[in-house]
Chain A
Amino acid sequence: MTDQAVRNILIVGGGTAGWMTAAALSAKLAGLPIAIRLVESAEIGTVGVGEATVPHIRHFNAALGLDEADFMRRTQATYKLGIEFRDWGKPGDSYIHPFGAYGAAIAGVGFHHHWLRARQGGDATPLEAYSLPIMAARQGRFAPPSPDLSSVASTYNYAYQFDAGLYAAYLRAYAEARGVVRTEGKVADVALRGGDGFIEAVTMESGERIEADLFIDCSGFRGLLIEQALKAGYEDWTRWLPCDRAAAVPCETVEISTPYTRCTADTAGWRWRIPLQHRVGNGYVYSSAHISDDDAAAALLAGLEGKAQADPRFLRFTAGHRRKQWSRNCVAVGLASGFLEPLESTSIHLIQVAVTTLLELFPDRGCDPADQDEYNRVMNLEFERIRDFLVLHYHANQRTGSPFWDDRRNLPIPDSLAYKMDLFRDRGVVVKYKDGFFLEPSWLAVYLGQNVVPRAYDPVSDSVPDAVLAQRLKAIRDSVADTAGAMPAHDDWVARFCAAAPVNAAQAVRA
Chain B
Amino acid sequence: MSRSPLNSVAVLGGGVAGWMTAAALARVLPGACAIRVVDTADGAPRGALSTLPALRGFHGLLGLNEPALMRAARGTFKLGARYSGWTDEDHVEGFSDAGANLDGVAFHHHWLRVRERGEAGRYEDYSLAAVAARLGRFAPPSEDPRSVLSTLSYGQHLDAAGYVAALRATAGRVEARSGEIAQVALAPDGRIAAVILADGERIAADLFVDTTPDGRLIGATPDAGWIDESTALPCDRLALREVAPRANPPPLTEFEAIAEGWLRRVPLRGGDAVALAYAGNLTSDEAAREILGGEAAIVRLRNGRRERVWTGNCVAIGPAASQLEPLNGDDAQSVQSGVGRLIALLPTADGSPLAAMEYNRLMAEEHDRARDMAVFRYVAAARSDPLWARSRQAAPSPALAYKQAQFESRGRVVLYDEETFVEGAWVAAFLGHGILPRRHDRLADRLPADQADAALARLRGLIRQAAQAMPLHADALKDRP
**For the complex, is A311 an interface residue (Cβ under 8 Å from B)?**
no
**For the complex, is A305 an interface residue (Cβ under 8 Å from B)?**
no
**For the complex, is B190 an interface residue (Cβ under 8 Å from A)?**
no
Q: Please indicate the chain A residues that have their CB under 8 angstroms from the CB of B406 in the complex.
A: 370, 374
How far is A304 from B125 in the complex, measured between Cα atoms in Å? 65
**For the complex, is A246 an interface residue (Cβ under 8 Å from B)?**
no
Chain A CB count within 10 A is highest, among B1, B30, B345, B416, for B1
Known: A120-B1, A463-B30. A434 touches B415 (CB 8 A): yes
**For the complex, is A481 an interface residue (Cβ under 8 Å from B)?**
no
Known: A362-B441, A429-B345. A31 touches B354 (CB 8 A): no
Contact status B354-A423, CB under 8 Å: yes
Q: Please indicate the chain A residues that have their CB under 8 angstroms from the CB of B346 in the complex.
A: 458-460
Contact status B3-A456, CB under 8 Å: yes
Q: Please indicate the chain B residues that have their CB under 8 angstroms from the CB of A456 in the complex.
A: 1-3, 348
**For the complex, is B6 an interface residue (Cβ under 8 Å from A)?**
yes
- Chain B interfacial residues counted at CB < 8 A: 39
Q: Please indicate the chain A residues that have their CB under 8 angstroms from the CB of B402 in the complex.
A: 373
Known: A120-B1, A371-B409, A460-B343. A434 touches B419 (CB 8 A): yes
**For the complex, is A360 an interface residue (Cβ under 8 Å from B)?**
yes
Q: What 1/0 mask marks residues of chain A from 408 to 444 whose CB sits below 8 Å from any chain B CB? A: 0000000000000011001101010111000000000
Select from chain A the residue with minimum beta-carbon distance to B442: A362
**For the complex, is B446 an interface residue (Cβ under 8 Å from A)?**
yes
How far is A113 from B80 in the complex, measured between Cα atoms in Å? 39
Q: What 1/0 mask marks residues of chain B from 396 to 422 whose CB sits below 8 Å from any chain A CB? A: 000000100110011010111111000
Contact status B28-A463, CB under 8 Å: yes
Known: A429-B358, A462-B30. A31 touches B409 (CB 8 A): no
**For the complex, is A511 an interface residue (Cβ under 8 Å from B)?**
no
How far is A402 from B3 in the complex, measured between Cα atoms in Å? 36
**For the complex, is A302 an interface residue (Cβ under 8 Å from B)?**
no
Select from chain B the residue with minimum beta-carbon distance to A434: B417
**For the complex, is A510 an interface residue (Cβ under 8 Å from B)?**
no
Measured CB to CB, the closest approach of chain B to A387, in angstroms, equals: 18
Measured CB to CB, the closest approach of chain B to A119, in angstroms, equals: 10
Q: Please indicate the chain B residues that have their CB under 8 angstroms from the CB of A434 in the complex.
A: 415-419
Contact status A370-B405, CB under 8 Å: yes
**For the complex, is A457 an interface residue (Cβ under 8 Å from B)?**
yes
Known: A433-B417, A463-B28. A427 touches B445 (CB 8 A): no
- What does DSSP make chain A's interface, helix, strand, loop or mixed? loop
**For the complex, is A1 an interface residue (Cβ under 8 Å from B)?**
yes
**For the complex, is A368 an interface residue (Cβ under 8 Å from B)?**
yes
How far is A120 from B30 in the complex, measured between Cα atoms in Å? 19
Chain B CB count within 10 A is highest, among A108, A427, A431, A456, for A427
Contact status B5-A459, CB under 8 Å: yes
Q: What 1/0 mask marks residues of chain B from 91 to 105 whose CB sits below 8 Å from any chain A CB? A: 000000000000010
Say which residue of B410, B415, B417 sits within 8 Å of A368 (CB atoms).
B410
**For the complex, is A6 an interface residue (Cβ under 8 Å from B)?**
yes
Measured CB to CB, the closest approach of chain A to B372, in angstroms, equals: 15
Q: What 1/0 mask marks residues of chain A from 354 to 371 whose CB sits below 8 Å from any chain B CB? A: 000001111010001011
Contact status B6-A459, CB under 8 Å: yes
Taking residues whose C-beta sits less than 8 angstroms from the other chain, chain A's interface range is 35 or more
**For the complex, is A468 an interface residue (Cβ under 8 Å from B)?**
no
**For the complex, is A30 an interface residue (Cβ under 8 Å from B)?**
yes
Contact status B355-A427, CB under 8 Å: yes
**For the complex, is B352 an interface residue (Cβ under 8 Å from A)?**
yes
Contact status B443-A362, CB under 8 Å: yes
**For the complex, is B29 an interface residue (Cβ under 8 Å from A)?**
yes
Q: Please indicate the chain B residues that have their CB under 8 angstroms from the CB of A457 in the complex.
A: 2
Known: A370-B409, A370-B410. A29 touches B443 (CB 8 A): yes
Select from chain A the residue with minimum beta-carbon distance to B412: A374
**For the complex, is A28 an interface residue (Cβ under 8 Å from B)?**
yes
Measured CB to CB, the closest approach of chain B to A384, in angstroms, equals: 14
Measured CB to CB, the closest approach of chain A to B200, in angstroms, equals: 33
**For the complex, is B122 an interface residue (Cβ under 8 Å from A)?**
no
**For the complex, is B300 an interface residue (Cβ under 8 Å from A)?**
no
**For the complex, is A5 an interface residue (Cβ under 8 Å from B)?**
yes
**For the complex, is B390 an interface residue (Cβ under 8 Å from A)?**
no
Q: Please indicate the chain A residues that have their CB under 8 angstroms from the CB of B358 in the complex.
A: 423, 429, 431
Measured CB to CB, the closest approach of chain A to B336, in angstroms, equals: 15
**For the complex, is B439 an interface residue (Cβ under 8 Å from A)?**
yes
Select from chain A the residue with minimum beta-carbon distance to B354: A426
Q: Please indicate the chain A residues that have their CB under 8 angstroms from the CB of B345 in the complex.
A: 427, 429
How far is A355 from B2 in the complex, measured between Cα atoms in Å? 47
Contact status B446-A31, CB under 8 Å: yes
Contact status B355-A429, CB under 8 Å: yes
How far is A48 from B1 in the complex, measured between Cα atoms in Å? 48
Measured CB to CB, the closest approach of chain B to A196, in angstroms, equals: 17
Q: Please indicate the chain A residues that have their CB under 8 angstroms from the CB of B116 in the complex.
A: 1
Q: Please indicate the chain A residues that have their CB under 8 angstroms from the CB of B3 in the complex.
A: 455-456, 459
**For the complex, is A505 an interface residue (Cβ under 8 Å from B)?**
no
Q: Please indicate the chain B residues that have their CB under 8 angstroms from the CB of A459 in the complex.
A: 3, 5-6, 346, 348
How far is A455 from B348 in the complex, measured between Cα atoms in Å? 12
Q: Please indicate the chain B residues that have their CB under 8 angstroms from the CB of A28 in the complex.
A: 104, 443
Measured CB to CB, the closest approach of chain A to B449, in angstroms, equals: 11
How far is A364 from B346 in the complex, measured between Cα atoms in Å? 50
Q: Please indicate the chain B residues that have their CB under 8 angstroms from the CB of A506 in the complex.
A: none
Which residues 342-363 in B have Cβ within 8 Å of A in the complex? 343-346, 348, 352, 354-355, 357-358
How far is A191 from B19 in the complex, measured between Cα atoms in Å? 68
Contact status A1-B439, CB under 8 Å: yes
Which residues 303-362 in B have Cβ within 8 Å of A in the complex? 343-346, 348, 352, 354-355, 357-358
How far is A362 from B414 in the complex, measured between Cα atoms in Å? 15
Say which residue of B30, B357, B415, B442 sits within 8 Å of A32 (CB atoms).
B442
How far is A5 from B418 in the complex, measured between Cα atoms in Å? 35
Q: Please indicate the chain B residues that have their CB under 8 angstroms from the CB of A455 in the complex.
A: 1, 3
Q: Please indicate the chain A residues that have their CB under 8 angstroms from the CB of B409 in the complex.
A: 368, 370-371
How far is A108 from B346 in the complex, measured between Cα atoms in Å? 13
How far is A362 from B106 in the complex, measured between Cα atoms in Å? 14
Which residues 338-382 in A have Cβ within 8 Å of B in the complex? 359-362, 364, 368, 370-371, 373-374
How far is A459 from B342 in the complex, measured between Cα atoms in Å? 12
Which residues 1-58 in B have Cβ within 8 Å of A in the complex? 1-3, 5-6, 28-30
Contact status B442-A6, CB under 8 Å: yes
Q: Please indicate the chain B residues that have their CB under 8 angstroms from the CB of A117 in the complex.
A: 2
Known: A368-B410, A423-B358, A431-B358. A462 touches B5 (CB 8 A): yes
Select from chain B the residue with minimum beta-carbon distance to A426: B354
Say which residue of B29, B414, B441 sits within 8 Å of A374 (CB atoms).
B414
Known: A456-B2, A460-B346. A364 touches B442 (CB 8 A): yes
Which residues 87-134 in B have Cβ within 8 Å of A in the complex? 104, 116
Contact status B354-A422, CB under 8 Å: yes
How far is A177 from B330 in the complex, measured between Cα atoms in Å? 51
Q: Please indicate the chain B residues that have their CB under 8 angstroms from the CB of A359 in the complex.
A: 443
Measured CB to CB, the closest approach of chain B to A358, in angstroms, equals: 11
Measured CB to CB, the closest approach of chain B to A5, in angstroms, equals: 7
16 more A-B residue pairs beyond the given contacts A30-B446, A433-B417, A460-B28, with a C-beta to C-beta distance below 8 A: A6-B442, A32-B443, A32-B445, A360-B441, A364-B439, A368-B410, A371-B410, A373-B402, A374-B414, A427-B354, A429-B355, A434-B415, A457-B2, A458-B344, A460-B29, A463-B29
27 contacts between A and B (CB under 8 A): A1-B116, A1-B439, A29-B446, A31-B445, A32-B445, A32-B446, A360-B412, A361-B412, A362-B442, A370-B405, A370-B409, A371-B410, A426-B352, A427-B355, A429-B345, A431-B358, A434-B415, A434-B419, A455-B1, A455-B3, A456-B348, A459-B6, A459-B348, A460-B29, A460-B343, A463-B28, A463-B29
CB within 8 Å of A: which residues of B? 1-3, 5-6, 28-30, 61, 104, 116, 343-346, 348, 352, 354-355, 357-358, 402, 405-406, 409-410, 412, 414-419, 439, 441-443, 445-446
Sorted from nearest, which 5 A-B pairs have the closest CB atoms?
A370-B409, A426-B354, A31-B446, A434-B417, A362-B442
